[in-house]
A and B are shown apart, each in its own frame.
Chain A
Amino acid sequence: MAELPKTPLLDELEKGPWPSFVTEIKEAAKHKASSRDLLGLLERSYRERLGHWKHGGIVGVLGYGGGVIGRYTDLPQDFPAISHFHTMRINQPPGWFYTSKALRQICDIWEEHGSGLTNMHGSTGDIILLGTTTPELEPTFQALCAVGFDLGGSGSDMRTPSSCVGPARCEWACYDTLGLAHDLTITFQDELHRPMFPYKFKFKCSGCPNDCVAAVARADMSIIGTWRDDIKVDHAKVKEYADKGLDIERTVIRNCPGKCMEWDGATLAIDNSACRKCMHCINVMPKALRPGDDRGATILIGSKAPIVEGALLSSVLIPFWKPEPPYEDLKDLVRTIWDLWAEEGKNRERVGEFIQRVGLGNFLSAIGLDPEAEMVAHPRENPYIFYAVGDKE
């Protein structure tokens, strides 16, 4: 193997306690010409303060429209091994669980067909295989399918759904986040692999209002677990926390947004009818408090990053939903929304922007949902009302 390029600037990023991505690229560069050229290109970017990647042309595997991001350097003469350097998105197992065997299978495939570099994981949740050439795409895909993996989404399609660790390891999971994410992924394989929407559509499943996968900020449909009945309290354990020095008044009671808790130094009282299901008290005293038994999820819609019309957080669509496999009620709702948005959405208009444009009230009418007070932070303040009266006498 040829010598590694000189990288005086990048070498600075091998110092310090945090694990270094430069060390990772150098390791791959010992084995792979593409990673060696990537190292050289990146050093050049650091010197020039400028990226050296071009827009992707459309590349992919037979019959799929998504899952591969075309990537080419604008300096192919200097770095020929990365003149194509496409990213493949591989749909992660829900909850990002792996057997060492599955992980090694992916490694072996990527050693044979690509740069040997990955992101574990990309922002949407996929395994990112970072960099290969156009002729290697199909063989990589075939090899991955043979060991049970498939591509994730990209472009104007349903993006790879993701979920928190949920019931696999978290006592706060109010529904089966992994099960729902997997079911949606399998049900909507066509929508995942063949872009046909106005723009991308993401699902994220969080098991409780702590929202560990940032569903409220990063998903077109955010499914966030919650409960309707009383918080389960183990009073002896509450006392234990207090005895061990937890200042319940200061840390728990004063931070309760529902102002629905009282602590007299011996007993914790919760007015559950005013509890906002925020999780704070449960987070502070996990051994003493738990979400209730009547568990389900709040479904919110529309969050996105700034491009095009500004960033949005998701807003409430279904205040409380009981998730039960095979989740047909949710899938019907999703199909109704997709049909409307595909019909009336503009090119590159996310569903949240679509709702902003047509109005939430009109959107609800179009998908056949009744307005509910839970859907707004407060009712309107302006009197420019489009009254829904029919023809008058």
Chain B
Amino acid sequence: MTEATQRVTDIGPPHHEKMMPPVIQKNYGKWVSHEILKPGVMVHEAESGDKLYTVRAGSPRLVSIWKLRKFADLADKYCGGHLRFTSRHNAEFLLTDPAGIDPLIADLKAIGHPVGGIGAAITSIVHTQGWVHCHSAATDASGIVKAVMDAIDPYFTGTKKIPGKLRIALACCLNMCGAVHCSDIAILGIHRRPPRTDVGAVGKLCEIPNVVASCPTAAIRPAQKDGASTVEVIEEQCMYCANCYTVCPAMPLNDPVNDGVSIWVGGKVSNARSEPTFSKLAVPYIPNNPPRWPEVVDCVVKLVELWAANARPYERMGEWINRITWPKFFRMAELPFSKEHIDDFKHAGLTFKRSAQLVH
């Protein structure tokens, strides 16, 4: 083994300057304006007059190194050996010569990657690991995302037009790796049964005070079983968040029959027009139906189409709903409104309707 002193550590990431193409190094901070030329293609112009063309390609996020090498080949062929990725998993190719745009798009198409997702479009779905790689997943991530993107691909490639931006995100449990809680449409995996506590194992595997403290609704109490310390769950107080399971492997919640997804709408992070806001519950539960979750796909498509048909230019899902009011949204979307839709956690009272301004 190498001596600890000889190891290189704590070097941090490479500096971005080493990774950026010369046209960006030269014009860093000196861009003046941009224009969307066609779906998935835009041009930025710098003070110097230099132009930078961006071609955005959709990606499934889970990519093999054999695909990444193909991306690298395209970066060599068209972009002087540079590329970048976006915060929503898209790959972006940066060209200085517009003549490369169409051949690049054709090459991307040939390896199965559509171009689009810029401006008034639906871009790739931010998502998480699901059954591919996570222990607490109440549903798969990549599978639902693939099925939904297949259905709304025309909104990515721009063959179908929409009034503004629409951001979809998916998380496979309430841990929400990813900003699903502030998305126009959020698909969220949920458990619906309390943990099945392995009473004998809790004391051995886990710190009891941590397990008790992990529960947001104080549903977990210390207990004794056969002289050993363990915990018990007051099931009526449990809302299946799986936080105890994150802290203690002896409290699994995964359940093939009762797990599934919920759908939330109307959140956003940008400050444009209205302030950032959380998504709100639209559909409390849809059962898991792999491999293609048709009920989830139908629901998302219906919501997208409803919004697209009724929103004003630039109006995001939540802005549209705020204008028409939530009751009207539920009627238009033909979604039942149920007890689950009414908040009962902290500050729930602030979400009650406290006026007589209603649309009848």
A: which residues have CB within 8 A of B?
A: 9-10, 12-13, 15-25, 27-28, 31, 35, 38, 42, 45-46, 48-56, 62-64, 71, 85, 87, 91-104, 106-107, 110-111, 116-125, 130-131, 142, 145-146, 148-150, 162, 164-165, 167-171, 173, 176, 178, 182, 185-186, 189-190, 193, 209-218, 224, 250-251, 255-257, 276-280, 283-284, 286-287, 290, 305-311, 313, 346-348
Contact = CB atoms under 8 A, between A and B. Distances in A.
A213 B64 CA distance: 24
B29 A173 contact: yes
Given A121-B89, A280-B272, A214 B182 contact: yes
21 contacts: A9-B291, A13-B146, A13-B292, A18-B150, A24-B62, A25-B62, A49-B288, A53-B133, A97-B84, A104-B68, A107-B65, A117-B62, A121-B89, A170-B34, A176-B29, A217-B182, A306-B174, A307-B176, A307-B243, A309-B216, A347-B213
B29 to A, nearest CB: 4
B330 interface: no
A7 B153 CA distance: 25
B64 A118 contact: yes
A116 B68 CA distance: 10
A71 to B, nearest CB: 6
B331 interface: no
B350 to A, nearest CB: 11
Interface in B71-90: 71-73, 75-76, 81-87, 89
B67 A27 contact: yes
Contacts of A119: 61-63, 89
Contact of A99 (B18, B63, B87, B147): B18
B8 to A, nearest CB: 4
Contact of A94 (B13, B132, B345): B13
Interface in B148-185: 149-150, 153, 156, 171, 174-179, 181-182
B72 A171 contact: no
B357 to A, nearest CB: 19
Interface string B1-43: 0101001111111111011100010001101111100000000
A49 B14 CA distance: 41
A146 B89 CA distance: 26
Contacts of B73: 100
Nearest to B12: A186
Main secondary structure of the interface of B (DSSP, over half): loop
A312 to B, nearest CB: 9
A279 B272 contact: yes
B33 A171 contact: yes
A169 B24 contact: yes
Contacts of A287: 33, 35
Size class of the B contact interface (CB-based, 8 Å):
35 or more
A309 B243 CA distance: 11
Interface of B: 2, 4, 7-16, 18-20, 24, 28-29, 31-35, 44, 52, 54, 58-69, 71-73, 75-76, 81-87, 89, 91, 94, 112-114, 126, 128, 130-137, 140, 142-143, 146-147, 149-150, 153, 156, 171, 174-179, 181-182, 210, 213-214, 216, 241, 243, 246-247, 249, 254-257, 259, 269-274, 276-278, 288, 290-292, 312-314, 345-346
Given A13-B146, A49-B288, A251-B313, A286 B270 contact: no
A111 B8 contact: no
A149 B82 contact: no
Contacts of B140: 45-46
B84 A24 contact: no
A217 B276 contact: yes
B128 to A, nearest CB: 7
Contacts of B136: 51
Contacts of B84: 95-98, 165
A171 B34 contact: yes
Nearest to A9: B291
Contacts of A162: 87
A125 B146 CA distance: 21
A150 B271 contact: no
A305 B62 contact: no
B133 A131 contact: yes
A301 to B, nearest CB: 14
Contact of A182 (B15, B63, B171): B15
Contact of A308 (B82, B182, B214, B270): B214
Residue from B73, B243, B271 with most neighbouring chain A CB atoms (10 Å):
B271
Contacts of B210: 347-348
A120 B89 contact: yes
Given A20-B60, A148-B14, 14 more contacts: A13-B146, A18-B58, A19-B112, A25-B62, A97-B16, A97-B19, A97-B20, A97-B82, A118-B68, A123-B126, A211-B269, A216-B276, A278-B272, A348-B210
A211 B63 contact: no
Given A10-B291, A279-B270, A310-B345, A24 B85 contact: no
Contact of A64 (B9, B64, B271): B9
